[in-house]
Amino acid sequence: MKIHIDMKHIKLFEDFGALEVEPYEAPMQIQCNKCGWNWNTTESDPKDMYICHKCGEDNRVFYEGEPEEDDELPPTGSGETIIP
């Protein structure tokens, strides 16, 4: 088997330039992965936007991905029902 590579169609990584990444925007509505409760992000304080006010579960990892090593997530709730 013979493979022919036409070099005029291959670009180096540097030729593509820097990748433009848009800033993360939280979804308009969040649903708890543990109990199914949902709420609007527009009614939430950014500090606890991903914390379920019904069961205390922290849903941040599901919506934002795994945290960096330097990031610290607040502790999850005690499991007690919190009535807003």
Q: What is the DSSP string of 53-70?
A: TTT--B-HHHHH-SPPTT
pTM score = 0.48
Q: Where are the domains of the chain?
A: 23-78
CB atoms within 10 A of CB 50: 22
**10-residue stretch averages of pLDDT, the chain, 84 residues long:** 65 62 75 94 87 93 73 56 59
Q: Look at residue 58 in the predicted model and tell me its pLDDT.
A: 93
pLDDT at 42: 85
∠ at Cα 31 (71, 26), nearest 5°? 50
According to the model, what pLDDT value does residue 54 have?
94
